[in-house]
């Protein structure tokens, strides 16, 4: 499987039965396809939809609803749609158990930058979305991203260099190489991907990793 699928599969393992979960653009929304058997989660999207599923077969979609990534959806029994003000009140009120978000950078303190790429002096693109509200409103924040950029430079840093979306908000970082937990005492390496060694992870990670005992492989 490719890196994005591996990350999405591992991220889905964080779903717990009954969780209300918000999924960000990109890799996070793919996690909905890998929800563990026997686990029921309630998906929420910041554009104003609760308890839905993403539709992959043409003709099964509801023409009036989509998730925040503009993917076709179907509202499930007991689900609802509502205005965006209500949606953000729901998020800010602490009713989202977990959010999975992508990132441009994340660091060992749990800081995350996921909204701004510099395109000119003092100018950034693409702009802010709902991530800032989710980062401070969700009870658990899971960051998913590829471990390095196209030039092989680490995205798991000692300190973020891009404008932050939120400070010290991330709980768990999942890449195609490893799972890392942000704690007050450091960034702990919790799992490595199948076939990947601890030394390989450390070689491409700028952040200081805490490694204690044997590190298990991801269960996918």
What's the whole-model pTM score? 0.93
Q: Is the pLDDT of residue 181 over 70?
A: yes
Residues tagged active-site: 46
Distances from the Cα of 212 to the Cαs of 119, 189, 191, 215, 216, in angstroms?
41, 8, 11, 8, 11
3-state secondary structure of 5: helix
Q: Is the pLDDT of residue 180 over 90?
A: yes
Which CATH superfamily does the domain covering 3-210 fall into?
A: Glutaconate Coenzyme A-transferase (3.40.1080.10)
Q: Is the pLDDT of residue 209 over 90?
A: yes
For residue 4, name the pLDDT band (cuts at 50, 70, 90).
Answer: very high
Q: Is the pLDDT of residue 79 over 90?
A: yes
Q: Is the pLDDT of residue 60 over 80?
A: no
């Amino acid at each position: 499987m490719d890196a994005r699928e591996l990350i999405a599969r591992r991220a889905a393992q964080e779903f717990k039965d009954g969780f209300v979960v918000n999924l960000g653009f990109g890799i996070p929304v793919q996690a909905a396809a890998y929800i563990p058997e026997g686990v029921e989660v309630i998906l929420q999207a910041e554009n104003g939809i609760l308890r839905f599923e993403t539709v992959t077969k043409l003709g099964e979609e509801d023409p009036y609803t989509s998730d925040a990534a503009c993917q076709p959806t179907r509202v499930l029994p007991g689900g609802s749609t509502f205005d965006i003000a209500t949606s953000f009140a729901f998020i800010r009120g602490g009713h989202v158990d977990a959010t999975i978000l992508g990132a441009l950078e994340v660091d060992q303190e749990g800081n995350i930058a996921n909204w701004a790429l510099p395109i000119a002096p003092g100018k950034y693109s693409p702009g802010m979305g709902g991530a800032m509200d989710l980062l401070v409103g969700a009870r658990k924040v899971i960051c998913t991203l590829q471990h390095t950029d196209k030039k092989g430079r680490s995205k798991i840093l000692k300190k973020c260099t891009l404008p932050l979306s939120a400070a010290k908000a991330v709980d768990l970082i999942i890449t195609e190489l490893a799972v890392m937990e942000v704690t007050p005492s450091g960034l702990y390496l919790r799992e490595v991907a199948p076939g990947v060694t601890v030394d390989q992870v450390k070689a491409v990670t700028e952040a200081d990793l805490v490694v204690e005992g044997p590190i298990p492989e991801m269960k996918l």
